[in-house]
């Protein structure tokens, strides 16, 4: 089954109050996001972000969703699908959504000549084994 990861940009403009709230168990992925960026010379500062678990995705097979609305960045991670992902898939999903919500990246659905996605910003969740075997290259692409 192919899992979708959704982006919803309702508005990129506007100003909002500073909100920072990360659901229990998901802080570790924000730390990975910041650390791997720092390792690549990116000093990422997050001032406005909410990450929460949710049920009832807008479509079946949707694992996560970033919403940027009037300057507020919000990530929803859908259960129970999340609970069934392996660690690599959880990292891919969280980096993907942080890519939308913090780096304001959009989807990149290009593929290598071997048929592998070139980016974790692919619309579909990467295969965990492919990601793990090429993690450094995927992270280099992610932050470039």
* Contact positions vs Zn ion (CB under 5 A): 5, 7
Pick between residue 7 and residue 51 the one whose CB is nearest to Zn ion. Answer: 7
Which residues, 6+ apart, have CB-to-CB distance to 127 below 8 Å? Answer: none
CB of 82 to Zn ion, least distance (A): 15
Q: Report the half-sphere exposure of 76 (CA within 13 A, side-chain side).
A: 15
Instruction: Centre a 10 Å sphere on the Cβ of residue 94 and count the other Cβ atoms it contains.
Output: 22
Pick between residue 6 and residue 37 the one whose CB is nearest to Zn ion. Answer: 6
CB of 7 to Zn ion, least distance (A): 4
CB of 17 to Zn ion, least distance (A): 25
Pick between residue 39 and residue 106 the one whose CB is nearest to Zn ion. Answer: 106
Instruction: Centre a 10 Å sphere on the Cβ of residue 142 and count the other Cβ atoms it contains.
Output: 23
CB of 26 to Zn ion, least distance (A): 17
Pick between residue 72 and residue 120 the one whose CB is nearest to Zn ion. Answer: 120
Pick between residue 7 and residue 39 the one whose CB is nearest to Zn ion. Answer: 7
| H-state helical runs in 4-127 | 27-39, 87-101
Nearest to 73 by CA among 109, 53, 52, 101: 101
- Residue 80: DSSP 8-state: T
Instruction: State how far the Cα of 103 lies from the Cα of 36, in Å rounded to an integer.
Output: 13
CB of 33 to Zn ion, least distance (A): 15
């Amino acid at each position: 089954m192919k899992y979708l990861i959704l982006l919803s940009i309702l508005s990129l403009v506007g100003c909002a109050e500073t909100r920072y709230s990360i659901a229990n168990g998901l802080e570790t992925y924000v730390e990975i996001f910041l650390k791997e960026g720092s390792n690549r010379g990116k000093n990422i500062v997050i001032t406005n972000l909410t990450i929460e678990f949710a049920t009832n995705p807008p479509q079946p097979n949707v694992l996560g969703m970033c919403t940027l609305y009037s300057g507020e960045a919000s990530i929803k991670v859908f259960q129970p699908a999340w609970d069934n992902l392996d660690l690599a898939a959880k990292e891919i999903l969280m980096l993907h959504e942080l890519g939308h919500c913090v780096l304001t990246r959009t989807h990149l659905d290009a593929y290598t000549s071997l048929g592998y996605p070139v980016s974790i910003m692919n619309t579909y969740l990467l295969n965990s084994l492919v990601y793990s075997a090429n993690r450094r290259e995927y992270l280099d692409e992610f932050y470039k």
